Amino acid sequence: MLLTACGGDIKPTASASSTPSSSPTTTAAPTPSASPTATANTKVDPNIPTAARAHTPAGAEAFTRYFFSQLNIAWSKPSVGLLSSLSATTCKTCAAFEGSALGLATKQQHYQGDVFAVTTAASVGQSEILVVGQQPPGAVIDSNGAVVRRKTRAQESKFIVTVQWSSGGWRINEIKVMK
């Protein structure tokens, strides 16, 4: 599973399906519980690339790539708050990623290397992005430079990332691990 090198703090739930649905999806009118203020943080990351701000499938793909690049930064610095501005408050995996960044910062540790390297990000539905990549080798390093934990083997991974457009732009709603 993603990021088990960091003590197993993150255990995204696996998807029940091993392949993404290719059937068309329909868009329902937003309900009060799905309003941008109910599902997303109001703070907008000013560093989101222009391509990731477009309300298009390509924009959703670029935004998803940006999210994973921010995950790498959140754990390597570590830096708390990078992911919460890009995700809905209902995204449990996003909250777990953010919690791990907080845990690293609290323990004065950081992740050395990329947490996840995106190979491809492609739309597979109106609001779903198939992300394929790998979790490269890496390590958790303490403030003295000592290795706390090490991940020695790369692991290929696939995710279905559900995104939502709101007045503030794209937000990650859910991340599912594909088997």
- Complete DSSP assignment for the chain: -TTGGGTT---PPBPS-SS---S----PPPPGGGSHHHHB-S---TT--GGGGSSSHHHHHHHHHHHHHHHHHHHHTT-TTTTGGGBBTT-HHHHHHHHHHHHHHHTT-EEES-S-EEEEEEE-SSSEEEEEEEE--EEEE-TTS-EEEEE-S-EEEEEEEEEEEETTEEEEEEEEEE-
Note the pLDDT tens digit of each residue in 93-114: 999 999 999 999 999 999 999 9
Which pTM was predicted? 0.77
pLDDT in tens, 31-85: 333 333 333 445 778 899 999 999 999 999 999 999 999 999 999 999 999 999 9
